[in-house]
Structure 1
Amino acid sequence: MITGYNTDIRHGNRVYHVQTEDKGLTNPKIETLIYVGGEILDSYRSSYEDLTAAPPISDGAIQGRMDEQHRAVIRDIKNGKYDQTPPDMLEQQAFNDRPLDQAILEFLQLEGDVDTLELVLDQPMKPTFGEPFRVQVRARLCQSQSPVADAEVSVKLVSSLKKANNLLTGRTASDGRFTGEIQLPPSQPGQCAVVVSCSCDQGFDEVKAVVVAV
């Protein structure tokens, strides 16, 4: 399986998170998910079964198709494809709806002038329908790498067809770590993902992983 792409795109007053990943040779597809405010806004899938007809498959060939699909989705966003998306899906990302101090922190982070919050995974998240899922994340400051204690953590199950479900909340320990366990439902319609978000005075960050079937 090839390492995927994750890109945040600001267009107008919205921030879109674009995630592209290879599903692996046993399921030769490239999937791109578009998130806004923790909700899956749209998804794209393409097959590379044609490459499996002449093994061995070059990682570079798969990576090239991932890159092309990822860039195509980003172009769609910048060209305004999702400008008319219903506002209730965007309430968490609209610039004017966020506290001013949060907006300033995000701007300064881009400029490299402030030590802001980041959420770190010690290992990739692999949530599976119908199975328990252990959440293990660390909150730290992006420049100094100092742990962030007592930051608020929220775990949600988001879907392309249903409202997000809150699964778990809590706060980081003195070493910045948060650990918890949730039970994922046997199934749910649409494309689903687990979203772990974290917030504190130093900013906001989140990580996501698509939920797979057994």
Structure 2
Amino acid sequence: MLTGFNTDIEYGGTTYHVQTEDRGGKNPLIESLIYVGGEILASRRTEYRNLLEAGADENAIRILMERQHRAIVEAIRSGRIDLLTQPAASDEGDTTVVARSPLAASAGKVESSRSLDEVIAQWLEEQRRGVTLKVQVEGADRLLAGQPFAVTVKTLNQDAGHGVPAQVEIRFVSTATKPMVLANGSTDASGVFKAGGTLPPLDKGTGILVVTARAGNSVAEAKFLVSKA
């Protein structure tokens, strides 16, 4: 059973608390509960038994859990409470919703091209068939040793072109020193990861910034030269 997520979001004068947990056990599913004033407004449940049967590892389930949690948080921040209270699509991803309160009816709406169910169902389908990952990096055109850097990493489905969540690691590799991890973590639900800091000094040899992204069994990598200051 994986460690869950808890987030408080303020919207329209109301505080929403989102709690997402891995239920695991004999009935593997990820459950998200949305609270208002201590009462449950809605819930989301996504079964993942089929992913386990297909060989998905713990990291894949963790990414699914984080994606569901972030999708709900972003829906609330965007005023799309209706996405959480409308009936869910009944498909293999089987994401269910239980509305507990009429509060959502008063929330404003922001146009969105995809519902929360579609976002999660898409991820489930990609995990079932496998994803060819592609990584794009902004801000790595001119890297100087010993100087600050800031990059934005985007992880994409190479075939479909849209962002997918992934684990990202950024390393500094040099012919003169041991490899050094500068940043690591998960992208957001749209496949974006931002990192920054100061590059190690480089007195001799050649330096490379290596950005590695992993989603399921797919790995993508990008390398950038680090010049001497």
TM-score tier after normalising by the smaller chain length? 0.3 to 0.5
Larger radius of gyration: 2
TM-score, structure 1 length as denominator? Answer: 0.44
TM-score, structure 2 length as denominator? Answer: 0.41
